[in-house]
Structure 1
Amino acid sequence: MSEEVTYADLKFQDSSETENIQEFDQVGVKAPPAPSHVWRQRALAALILLCLLLLIGLGVLGSIFYLSLKIEMEKLEELQNFKDKLQNNVSLQLTYNMDSLKKIRNLSSTLQEMATKLCYELYQKEPEHKCKPCPEKWMWHEDRCYGELKKYETWKQSDLICSIHNASLVKIKNKSVLEFIKSKKFYNYWLGLSPREDYKSNKDLDETIISSDWFTGNTIDLNGEMYCGYIHYMYVYYDTCTNKKNVMCEKLPNPVKIESILMNEKPDGRM
């Protein structure tokens, strides 16, 4: 009895074997299963998170750059304002300095004029006063110094001697100089008249102040056949330039030294 196999048992065994065979067939030959839906969602979430982090990072960097740029622009604006203010101050200072320099120059010029006038008054009383702007023993008249050099030379040599003293032969170009020269009664002195090829008769000294013959050139081509003018008391005469006559020169005076006005010492020899 115990060894009897019923139909039901066989049926159950057949059914179990069939399921096992089917299951073996399905498991042994099918491809690996596809990724699950959960893994895809996690990967997408991670990608989205990464993008968000990148966007946040870019936003932070942009904010830092903007703030840095704003700060630098403010500093640059402050520097520009400081530069403009400094330039304005420098410009104002230069303007002030120029005005001050102009005032100082005007004051210096005024003091120089006053000193010259005062020195001239002292010179009238004491011809060799310390403040005199002319060399010793030279005469001072207005804006010129006149010196008799105690020499007897040709016109060309006389002109050269005057040049050595940074001077020139005397020219009479206005009435004030004319009256000064006439008052001294100079005798036989060369004048700074241009040498000429033709002889010219004597004329009154007064006529020379309107003359266009005052010498302005050089004496390179001067020869023995030319005539030069000289003063003889109140008249102007012409003689051959190679003859010898007295030498008298004129030159600009030196500036009057203010500190020397109150000094009565005679100046050292100057020429």
Structure 2
Amino acid sequence: MQVNINGIETRYVLSNEGGGPWLTFIHQLGGDLSVWDQLAGYFRDDYTVLRYDLRGHGETAVSSEPFTIADLSRDLAALLDALDAPRTHLVGMSMGGMVAQQFALDYPSRVDTLTIADSTGGTPPEGRALFDQRAAAARQDGMAPLVSATLSRWLTPGFQAAHPEAVEQISEVLSHTLPEGYAKACEALRDFDVRSKLGAIRCPTLTVAGRHDTGTPPAATQAVADAIEGAQFELLDAAHLAPVEQAHRFAALLETFLERPV
């Protein structure tokens, strides 16, 4: 399905077999909504599951102007408005986790629970140049040269060897991400920092990190949990895409978290 959100043609998929509470998944940099296929299938009988492509990713158009994570938060609010969803449980991975944090700060009354995987509350000064380098590389040479190094950060060698079909799908999506969409998203990540504001988040929060994540070390995700009162932190045997590598364990954690009394 396509809908125009803040002037951007945006792709989304809605699975509401169960007609239950809204549950929204937000993907990583260089990904698209397909990264959540398995988890969406797991939860769709009990929740109204929403997945969508962020600006410049998948089948969502690239904006002509630069954008920030706050802009992506506003995109999500407009998408929920268009779908008549007053509030949602929110799950974000990597860049999606940053959008989720921003959304919880911007629209606290619209978030039932917050789940953040393999993400950070802000890009440290030493990480900013790396995003500039990736943006420049994508614009100059396209996505192909970035794929191998990115997959090595995202998934452990063991998972890659055991699940070549999953790796192929993730690689295909990354390869076909529009270079300008990827570059603009890198610049949004470069400038993201809500670490001083996280204490204002009051909704139940679960954070999950991959033990072998070198791009976003587990300590960065744990710092998000430490900043939010009552937040839960879990460590999985995975690299950066922990909800993909440890899909069953992540689903069990999320199911338990969503069902606990508030």
Asked if TM exceeds 0.5, the reply is no
Structure with the greater alpha carbon radius of gyration: 1
**TM-score normalised by L of structure 1:** 0.21
Q: What TM-score comes out, normalization by structure 2 length?
A: 0.21
Higher RCO (C-alpha under 8 Å, 6+ residues apart): 1
